[in-house]
Amino acid sequence: MKKTRVQNTSNQTGPQNAKNRRDVWYKLDLSAIVYPTLQRRDFSSVYRLSVVLKEEIDPALLQQALDRTLPRFPTYKAAIRKGLFWRYLEPNNRPGPYVRQDIKNPCMPMHFKGNNRYLIRVYYYRNRIALEAHHSLGDGTGGMCLLQTLTAVYLGLLGHPIRPEGFVLDTAAEPDPEELEDAYMRYANAQVCPPRPAGRTYRVRGTKEPFYTLNIIDGVMSAREVMAVAKKYNATLTEYLNAVLLYALLEKQNRDRSHRLRPVRIAMPVNLRRFFPSKTLRNFITMVYPFVDPRLGDYTFEEIVEQVHNYMRYYINVKFLRGDITTNAATQRNPLIRVVPLFIKDFVVRTFYTRVQDKNSSAGLTNMGALQVPEDMKPYIERFDIYMGQPFSSRTNCAVISYEDILTVNFASSIVEADVERFFFRRLVKDGIHVTIESNRE
């Protein structure tokens, strides 16, 4: 079967045409290349986005909404395939995916041949709709477009029509070619490739949970309250929460009484759409690594905030981010590496990630920011949540999202101990922030 790569200028992959074109395929974007390589039995790069409505979900109507919505997102209505030199996405016209009642342990690994080869799952529970997606399809922005559009179509079926705006796309329209592009390659044009951060960091040690168990701890609080506290420290909300997590990790390292201190570093994705114009629904993020090195001496919390604030100001700008994109793209552009068979590339990438990249950070923190929804959708929405899913190693990941005045901080880990989470929320309470804790633990 002949396959043709979809170019950025193509407009033939819309909701109607995609069903009839079996020769369309999409090369994995620059970030997506890594995720399938790291796939293993107890790890899969799955994230979860959920919306809590003010009325209980009708699963039959939700299935209808999903069937109407998904063709508008051709890179999500897709299956992953393996070639000789690379993996790619091709249209998936198999039955499904089917909405299911939610489960206790979210973000379970996705097997590429399971679920009729779909790389998304949609769950419901009472008044919550949850979308889980494999990172090879796209990042949180693309996933949020799919979730909000699905929610808008569902509300429309209930008799509450929602006009397309922002994250809510028009399901009757053809996809914009820019939605399908690998935006990294458009902006990877710096004249130098800056080195990546190196060096081992402090790793949280804990008791591994049983297979497929994911511990969730949510903190629900007032966004205005958190912003007011951050302002007292002359920091943004993101800077403040990064500082709180660094503080919690330092406290954990001190309690461990490690004979050898190590730097504490957070892996934080940056949404590149804020700096480089793009409508892509695929991955378009890069990582920055705010850190504190306790070997230099003890840090007060104020000093941690200042350190994070200065780090963010120095590294998060167009020049540095463009250099980082160029560094990441250099390997893919190398003509020698491009002709290396896929199984060799997989081995090299997996070895590098396990021995080097995964040891570069102590925890992960992502902040989707303050979400906006169409005005006529607001009366039906209570809040949103985001989870980074199963960590690659024994540690905790933290995800932040806010809607109106509700800010949620969602921790996900695969270890029994919750010391980092406890230190984190205690620091917030000490700063006068009121926190409500929710969890899937017994």
Token pair, residue 410, equals 């969602």
Q: Which amino acid is it at 63?
A: Q
Q: What is the pLDDT of residues 3-39, one digit of tens each?
A: 434 433 333 334 444 444 456 888 999 899 888 888 7
Per-residue pLDDT tens over the stretch 342-355: 888 888 888 877 77
User: Where among 114, 147, 170 does a domain terminate?
Assistant: 170
Give SS3 for 167: coil
Q: Are residues 166 and 220 in the same domain?
A: no
**What tokens were used for 417?**
């101990």
Residues 151, 220: one domain? Answer: no
Cα–Cα distance, 418 to 215 (Å, whole number): 9
* Of the residues 170, 195, 229, the one at which a domain ends: 170
Give the mean pLDDT of the chain.
Answer: 89
Share of the chain above pLDDT 70, in %: 94
Taking the CA atoms of 146, 147, 150 and 151 in sequence, report the sign of the dihedral they define: negative
* 438 has a pLDDT exceeding 90: yes
Q: Using the predicted structure, report yes or no on whether residue 358 has a pLDDT greater than 90.
A: no
Is residue 126 one of the residues assigned to a domain? Answer: yes
Contacts of 80 (CB under 8 A, 6+ apart): 36, 87, 88, 89, 112, 117, 119, 134, 136
CA distance 324 to 357: 15
Beta strands, E only, 290-335: 291-292
Residues 306 and 431 in one domain: yes
Q: Would 422 be classed as within a structural domain?
A: yes
pLDDT of residue 390: 77
412 and 263 co-located in one domain: yes
What CATH number does residue 319 fall under? 3.30.559.10
Give the CA angle between residues 362, 294, 235 to the nearest 5°: 75
Decide if 370 is inside a domain: no
pLDDT per residue over 311-346, tens digit each? 999 999 999 999 999 988 887 787 887 878 888 888
Q: Which DSSP state fits 40?
A: B
Lowest mean pLDDT among 27-31, 73-77, 110-114, 255-259: 255-259
Q: What's the farthest any 2 CA atoms get from each other in the chain?
A: 64
pLDDT for the residue numbered 142:
97
**71-97 tens-digit pLDDT:** 999 999 999 998 888 889 999 999 999
Tell me which DSSP letter residue 208 carries: B
Q: Tokens at residue 74, please?
A: 């051709």
Q: Is residue 252 part of a domain?
A: yes
Locus of tokens 């001496």: 297
Q: Going by C-beta distance under 8 Å and a sequence separation of 6 or more, which residues neighbour residue 214?
A: 105, 106, 107, 108, 389, 390, 412, 413, 414, 440
- How far apart CA 277 and CA 297 sit, in angstroms, is 41
Question: 144: domain range?
Answer: 15-170
Mean pLDDT value of segment 179-190: 93
Number of domains in the chain: 2
pTM of this structure: 0.91
Beta strands of 197-344 (E only): which ranges?
Answer: 215-222, 264-271, 285-288, 291-292
Question: What is the reported pLDDT for 420?
Answer: 96
Strand spans (E) along 68-209: 78-82, 87-91, 100-101, 120-125, 128-134
Contact 215, 441 (CB under 8 A): yes
The H or E element spanning position 402 is strand 396-403
- By mean pLDDT, which of 131-135, 202-206, 285-289 is the weakest? 202-206
**Structural domain contains residue 235:** yes
